[in-house]
Structure 1
Amino acid sequence: MARASTPQGSLRQRGVASKQTLSESTFAPEVELDKLSKAAASSRQNVQRGEIEHKIALTLVTILGFVTRFWGISHPDEVVFDEVHFGKFASYYLQRTYFFDVHPPFAKLLFAFVGWLVGYDGHFHFENIGDSYVANKVPYVAFRALPAVLGALTVSVTYLIMWESGYSLPACLVATGLILLDNAHIGQTRLILLDATLVLAMACSLLFYIKFYKLRHEAFSRKWWKWLILTGFALSCDISTKYVGLFAFVTIGSAVIIDLWDLLDIKRRNGAISLQLFGKHFAARAIGLIVLPFLFYLFWFQVHFAVLTRSGPGDDFMTPEFQETLSDNVMLANAVDIHYYDYITIRHKETKAYLHSHPDTYPLRYDDGRISSQGQQITGYPHNDTNNYWQVLPSDNVHNTERIVRNFDLVRLRHIVTDKILLSHDVASPYFPTNQEFTAVTSEEAFGERQNDTLFEIRVETAKVGAEFKTVASHFKLVHFPSKVAMWTHTTPLPEWGYKQQEINGNKQVTVSSNMWIAEDIPSLPQDDARRQKEQRQVKSLPFLRKWFELQRSMFYHNNKLTSSHPYSSQPYHWPFLLRGVSFWTQNDTRQQIYFVGNPIGWWITSSLLAVFAGIIAADQISLRRNIDALDHRTRSRLYNSTGFFWLAWATHYFPFYLMGRQLFLHHYLPAHLASCLVTGALVEFIFNSDAVEEESSKSGNRSSPKRHVTARERFAGKSMLGAWIACGVILSAAAACWYFFLPLTYGYPGLSVEEVVRRKWLGYDLHFAK
């Protein structure tokens, strides 16, 4: 019975089961659709909830950015550090007075625009650190508000970079919080300085390029073009503020090259494109990231020239032709034709030293044992006296005082006081064994056996052959005719035997601009002479590109000459570890000071994680070589493409400084520091990334138990997010504590006691009032 009943029961059960299966299969599509609909709705809710959380966080950090940048911005009410330069330039713009600076004009024009908006007339010239703004009625808070706004917006843009890159809320807050709570970024954006504009433009170029890259599957759409052009505009603003903005071009350019290389691949995942389409991609990027930025860059110089129409302190840096485009140019109005047998004074264009001589001779031996000619000393002298008078003699010895000296004429120069003729010969100069000595010989020698050695050629800059040689207006090189060396001087003083005056020698590098001299005046010409009577000159014009090229050449030259030592300069290897800062301002009575230094905890964390990222990449590459794949595709893609892009931005904004010979300061690291904060936020996401854990869970979980599998994933994801929030809290808490500790040095108040100052003397921080 039992056996009989069993199969009967089994058959009935199988029949019922068959009906149930049929029923389930009939309604399966509706059930599955219902599940998918619920899943999609849940996904949309999660996305919406995530967007709301991001928007709230963005609003919060933006508000805090404005608070930290504007808090106490009116203190101190005195000129601070490099405000002496950039405040002065704004005043010059407002007075339309020509000035010279090694930086492009964009950020300075913004300051001038702010001054114009508030009705400031530019009467104050920011001459000295410590000059009172209040006493001189300067709207300095309005000026400082501009970089403060830009600095606060940099906080917002940093968050948007992380958000657009797809990072979680904790990762976004870590990267943004390290900028928000950084004392260096705050300090630099509360003063009339250029770096707030530079850093914001650099950050915007990263953000806009990310938004452009995300539209790579909608190539040539309106949005695609918009973000491409905006990327180019941000890059242009960057390099139009300082020339180190070129590093952002290197960052974006490197990413573009990688992207184009991928497009060229015929085996690319999304399908090959034709060479014709590739050409369009290349041309679009060239237009958007090279051509248009260059046009924007030229535009700011056009505005610069259009505003600065009056003669000013920058005239000396420009050629006479350029100076003739400026109204009220006193020097050009006083230019006089030089005739043979005139007495003239000759002054070096850069060092302002006069060509000088006296009866004393060079010593028999120099300190290094070399033997000199023992001839009469020719030196550079800072003051004008009769020992600076030289008579211009023609090479043909024809005595005609009405004859004008012209460009490329061969002349001799007679020193009036000693009645000696200027000479150069193949004898090493006191300081430069490779340069020729300049001396003077008697007339008998000069017109006898040494007549060739006393011949010099007048070469007037940018003038045609035969052009008139004039005082003030003619910038010229005096080239020794037989040996083709140019008369040159430098600021290193001669020893006591030369009365610590400047050495004059013959420079074999004739083309360098430091060989330039100016015939300043004709002392032998009476003030009422007809040659000094000039009609009022008409302002001339020059083509824009000619003026631009001349200014560019002068800017690059003088920028490269900023090599002198500075007590607060630093080297690139100091910056990531924040080894020293810069003293901006002090007030002895209140013991207050502004010391430019970053947030040490924040900088050390970011620098450490830069090294960690390099180690992760190295470890991953080694693992792959051994056929060990420790990362899922999505995680590796984000690590290399996104975090790698941030690390590239840091490297391209940091390592080039090692190639520079000019003065460097801590503020040069600020763009690189922003990129290092992005790397830090991205690595928080990587270290506590739930994607790899979820993937591993899905691989090892029981596929016949989907309910248990989902629970495991949620558990792993929850732990991962909790870890990210803990890391975020720890990092930002440490950064906030350090930020608060150094606030008196950032905001300049309150004054600190000796003990309080000593407690803040970390590493090489050379603070005032420490004793």
Structure 2
Amino acid sequence: MSSDPQGTLRQRNVPASSKKKNGTPVDAALDEVAKVKDRVKGPGSEWEYRIAFTIITILAFVSRFWGITHPNEVVFDEVHFGKFASYYLEKTYFFDVHPPLGKLLFALMGWLVGYDGHFHFENIGDSYIANKVPYVAFRAMPALLGALTVSVVFLIMWESAYSLPACIVAAGLVLLDNAHIGQTRLILLDATLVFAMACSLLCYIKFYKLRHEPFSRKWWKWLILTGFALSCDISTKYVGLFAFVTIGSAVVIDLWDLLDVKRPGGALSLQEFGYHFAARAVGLIIIPFLFYLFWFQVHFSILTRSGPGDDFMTPEFQETLADNVMLANSINIDYYDTITIQHKETKAYLHSHDAKYPLRYDDGRVSSQGQQVTGYPYNDTNNYWQVLPANNEETMGRHVKNHELVRLRHLVTDTILLSHDVASPYYPTNQEFTTVSVADAFGPRVNDTLFEIRIEHGKQNQEFKSVSSHFKLIHNPSKVAMWTHTKPLPEWAHKQQEINGNKQIAPSSNVWLVDDVPSVPADSPRRVKEERKVKTMPFLKKWFELQRAMFWHNSKLTSSHPYASQPYQWPFLLRGVSFWTQSETRQQIYFLGNPIGWWIASSLLAVYAGIIGADQVSLRRGVDALDHRTRSRLYNSTGFFFLAWATHYFPFFLMGRQLFLHHYLPAHLASALVVGSLVEFVFNAEPSAEEPSYSEVAVGKKQRVGPRRHISARERFAGQSMLSAWIACAVILAVVVAGWYFFLPLTYGYPGLSVDQVVRRKWLGYDLHFAK
């Protein structure tokens, strides 16, 4: 599945009889085949490639930077990534589910233009001009990377020795794609992601071309650059892991070939194979991981002040941040203090009121008809709980400590919190939480009202504090953890949150904190705090904590979204995403690819799969319809591009999180490479009878060029096939240009469209604005 730049067979296809006694000069054989190809290509081709590359690069910059000042308002997810750049510049700690590299690049651009981060991108539609934000500089970063991505696509095809029409078609599909243009003109991460993914493919191809010069300086250079590109990919978004799968699959195939004892040039010893394996492990795993850690080190080094991301981290982590208000306001909790308890994840308060659970729930299950215990989003007196000792010993004024058993008295109703073996309203497997009278709590229900304070990452005898002590409340007899969730209860509970006992104690969703201690007056000496010193924490410990939080919150992005879409919709471009609208001018930015380009790419992906299937069936039946060079190119080079598409597409079917059309952009880039490859296959293939076989060249036999009329026929065929390739290139780009131009008003956000113009662009029922 590796891209074969010379279009030749793998070395294993060289017959063993073709080896010279002193070893087959494989490089010389490859050079001979390349010379044959160069004679067919004709003189001056290098300059043709250079001129085409320059023109395409210029067009890429024009298409990405044209009208980049419009709109001068916050657009779609710029509310997130622009805000994060501002937080970096203010050194204020924030939390995001994506790794830091892409956001660091935006912060770098802001720093270069002297921006101080005063604007926090709160709402879509907020004016950049009124708030004096250098938004063009921010947008210039993804526009630059988006333009360079087109250049990299051209270089991938060029380095793989494809014809000029094939290079232009592949790069043109990305150049003229409305989705790639739209996503790279805004303050979003996908330009960085797609650019890094494309660079990883290019660097690996250049590394693979040096496979006959192992451990040379250039070999090491491109191996390490491949690893660096992969690191940048996953350091932008975690879906960058798919590029590791692509390159990793090609590396596994390559290593498998190196294990073959019959390989031309002699078998590798196990020691030599071990060197190859170790080099790839260092270059493609260890070095990328170190770069990945490096970006997090930069992240932690910049964000030194307390900020909106504090709540996602443990108190120990927060103590490493300056100006942490939460820790400054924490006080020790004593027995008989009145406290309010808040769920860390949903922010709901532990609450109770006089109402009872109904006798029967909707599914027919019976409740205890005890007093309701619920989660309430607002703070009131029904959230007040008094901390009582497990026994009646004198504990007035003594601090509550980790792992101690307590009772919680609901002050307004003068009842004691209890959990027992009765199913909760929504979860038959979870225990109901209710309250009982004081008499029952210290009488027949004495054990059921005992709860353990278990501080997260706490030590034995650690003091229990408000705000800073994140804890789980564990019911002592049954060992269930107090838990809540966001699904509201029915009207009988005033649509408040359910509180129940979770048998799975480990999940972080069981964590609570004491929000306040109302029984301690504001002027109490207990609230007087000494100035806190910022503490330190080992980098790897901070990194592990942040990784856990990022993965957990990423997995929770499962709620519905009006513009979310499913993977099966992406290749056919069935729907897009509304980014921005302006009613007065009827302008809108609707994230949508070039339908014609996407349909061509998706169709040819299916064609490629069909060609491979047909070739395999033919070979089984003894029919060899393809010459060796064409088959090698089809399986190795085009196969590598198809692998890149598959590994960047199919894994999304396994994900349960929100998915959008922009997740398909890396796969679409790979599909453009497949299209360019098939243009070469269909229109520029050479008949096997007129091409010297690889084995003849490898053994140094005299090439059977024959009389001049044979060369003329070959040149005539080459000219005809090249002309056909150019015609195919022109036709494909013509229809793609038409689609690109037709949808430009939705990509650039101007001009505004009339109702009729909007309706004419609803090709597949796209949910466009101003259609009536």
**TM-score, normalising length: structure 2:** 0.93
Map 1:253-272; keep pairs closer than 5 Å.
253-272=248-267
> For residues 50 and 383 of structure 1, do their structure 2 counterparts lie closer, same or farther at Cα, with a shift above 3 Å needed?
same
The Cα of 1:270 is off from its aligned counterpart by: 3.5
1:611-669 Cα deviation digits (max 9, x unpaired): 11111111111111111111111111111110000000000000000111000000000
Q: 1:540 aligns with which of 535, 543, 568?
A: 535
Q: 1:418 aligns with which of 391, 413, 416?
A: 413
> Do residues 593 (structure 1) and 588 (structure 2) align?
yes
The Cα of 1:402 is off from its aligned counterpart by: 1.5
Cα distance between partner residues in 1 of 2:691 and 2:317: 71
The Cα of 1:741 is off from its aligned counterpart by: 0.1
Cα distance between partner residues in 1 of 2:473 and 2:644: 47
Give the aligned partner of residue 384 of structure 2: 389
> Do residues 570 (structure 1) and 565 (structure 2) align?
yes
> Do residues 181 (structure 1) and 182 (structure 2) align?
no
> For residues 347 and 446 of structure 1, do their structure 2 counterparts lie closer, same or farther at Cα, with a shift above 3 Å needed?
same
> Do residues 609 (structure 1) and 609 (structure 2) align?
no
1:382-435 Cα deviation digits (max 9, x unpaired): 110110000111112213222111111111111010111111111111011111
Q: 2:283 aligns with which of 280, 288, 295?
A: 288
The Cα of 1:203 is off from its aligned counterpart by: 0.1
> Do residues 712 (structure 1) and 707 (structure 2) align?
no
**8 A contact 2:451–2:476 mirrored in 1:** yes
Q: 2:450 aligns with which of 452, 455, 466?
A: 455
Give the aligned partner of residue 17 of structure 2: none
Q: 2:495 aligns with which of 480, 487, 500?
A: 500
**8 A contact 2:162–2:677 mirrored in 1:** yes
Map 1:333-482; keep pairs closer than 5 Å.
333-482=328-477
The Cα of 1:561 is off from its aligned counterpart by: 0.4
RMSD: 1.7
Give the aligned partner of residue 762 of structure 2: 761
Structure 2: which amino acid aligns with 1:214? K
Structure 1: gaps spanning 5 or more residues: 1-36
> Do residues 77 (structure 1) and 72 (structure 2) align?
yes
The Cα of 1:707 is off from its aligned counterpart by: 2.3
The Cα of 1:44 is off from its aligned counterpart by: 7.5
Give the aligned partner of residue 5 of structure 1: none
> Do residues 316 (structure 1) and 317 (structure 2) align?
no
Cα distance between partner residues in 1 of 2:505 and 2:464: 19
Structure 2: which amino acid aligns with 1:721? M
* Identity fraction in percent: 78
> For residues 505 and 111 of structure 1, do their structure 2 counterparts lie closer, same or farther at Cα, with a shift above 3 Å needed?
same
Residue 257 of structure 1 aligns to a residue in which SS?
helix
Residue 690 of structure 1 aligns to a residue in which SS?
coil
Cα distance between partner residues in 2 of 1:737 and 1:454: 73
Give the aligned partner of residue 682 of structure 1: 677
Map 1:525-674; keep pairs closer than 5 Å.
525-674=520-669
**TM-score, normalising length: structure 1:** 0.93
Q: 2:197 aligns with which of 198, 202, 207?
A: 202
Cα distance between partner residues in 1 of 2:666 and 2:541: 32
Give the aligned partner of residue 147 of structure 1: 142
Structure 1: which amino acid aligns with 2:446? Q
The Cα of 1:708 is off from its aligned counterpart by: 2.3
> Do residues 105 (structure 1) and 100 (structure 2) align?
yes
> Do residues 302 (structure 1) and 297 (structure 2) align?
yes
> For residues 491 and 42 of structure 1, do their structure 2 counterparts lie closer, same or farther at Cα, with a shift above 3 Å needed?
closer
The Cα of 1:692 is off from its aligned counterpart by: 2.9
**8 A contact 1:583–1:767 mirrored in 2:** yes
**8 A contact 1:694–1:713 mirrored in 2:** no
**8 A contact 2:330–2:465 mirrored in 1:** yes
The Cα of 1:143 is off from its aligned counterpart by: 0.4
1:211-236 Cα deviation digits (max 9, x unpaired): 00000000000000000000000000
Cα distance between partner residues in 2 of 1:351 and 1:704: 78
> For residues 630 and 270 of structure 1, do their structure 2 counterparts lie closer, same or farther at Cα, with a shift above 3 Å needed?
farther
Cα distance between partner residues in 1 of 2:588 and 2:687: 50
**8 A contact 2:419–2:475 mirrored in 1:** yes
- Between 1 and 2, higher relative CO (CA 8 Å, sep ≥ 6) is seen in 2
Residue 44 of structure 2 aligns to a residue in which SS?
helix
Cα distance between partner residues in 1 of 2:174 and 2:616: 31
> For residues 40 and 191 of structure 1, do their structure 2 counterparts lie closer, same or farther at Cα, with a shift above 3 Å needed?
closer
> Do residues 88 (structure 1) and 83 (structure 2) align?
yes
**8 A contact 2:402–2:453 mirrored in 1:** yes
Residue 218 of structure 1 aligns to a residue in which SS?
coil
Structure 1 window deviating more from structure 2 (196-205 vs 392-401): it is: 392-401
Q: 1:248 aligns with which of 243, 254, 276?
A: 243
Residue 422 of structure 1 aligns to a residue in which SS?
strand
Give the aligned partner of residue 121 of structure 1: 116
> For residues 206 and 43 of structure 1, do their structure 2 counterparts lie closer, same or farther at Cα, with a shift above 3 Å needed?
closer
**8 A contact 1:694–1:716 mirrored in 2:** no
Cα distance between partner residues in 1 of 2:705 and 2:416: 106
Cα distance between partner residues in 1 of 2:461 and 2:128: 53
Residue 454 of structure 1 aligns to a residue in which SS?
coil
**8 A contact 1:354–1:381 mirrored in 2:** yes
Structure 1 window deviating more from structure 2 (272-281 vs 525-534): it is: 525-534
**8 A contact 2:389–2:395 mirrored in 1:** no
Structure 1: which amino acid aligns with 2:737? A
**8 A contact 1:356–1:378 mirrored in 2:** yes
**8 A contact 1:635–1:692 mirrored in 2:** no
**8 A contact 2:576–2:661 mirrored in 1:** yes
Give the aligned partner of residue 17 of structure 1: none
Structure 2: which amino acid aligns with 1:584? F
Structure with a larger share of its residues in helix = 1
The Cα of 1:562 is off from its aligned counterpart by: 0.5
Cα distance between partner residues in 1 of 2:656 and 2:680: 38
Would you say how many aligned residue pairs link Structure 1 and Structure 2? 731
Give the aligned partner of residue 56 of structure 1: 51
Residue 72 of structure 1 aligns to a residue in which SS?
coil
The Cα of 1:451 is off from its aligned counterpart by: 1.1
Cα distance between partner residues in 1 of 2:126 and 2:705: 79
Cα distance between partner residues in 2 of 1:103 and 1:189: 18
Cα distance between partner residues in 1 of 2:150 and 2:538: 42
The Cα of 1:711 is off from its aligned counterpart by: 2.0
The Cα of 1:764 is off from its aligned counterpart by: 3.0
> Do residues 732 (structure 1) and 727 (structure 2) align?
no
**8 A contact 1:632–1:695 mirrored in 2:** no
Give the aligned partner of residue 273 of structure 2: 278
1:527-546 Cα deviation digits (max 9, x unpaired): 12121111010000000000
The Cα of 1:268 is off from its aligned counterpart by: 1.4
Residue 360 of structure 1 aligns to a residue in which SS?
strand
> For residues 209 and 453 of structure 1, do their structure 2 counterparts lie closer, same or farther at Cα, with a shift above 3 Å needed?
same
Give the aligned partner of residue 3 of structure 2: none
> For residues 142 and 431 of structure 1, do their structure 2 counterparts lie closer, same or farther at Cα, with a shift above 3 Å needed?
same
Structure 1: which amino acid aligns with 2:537? L
Structure 2: which amino acid aligns with 1:738? G
1:278-317 Cα deviation digits (max 9, x unpaired): 0000000000000000000000000000000000000000
The Cα of 1:48 is off from its aligned counterpart by: 5.4
Give the aligned partner of residue 722 of structure 1: 723
Give the aligned partner of residue 218 of structure 1: 213
Cα distance between partner residues in 1 of 2:745 and 2:461: 65
Structure 2: which amino acid aligns with 1:717? A
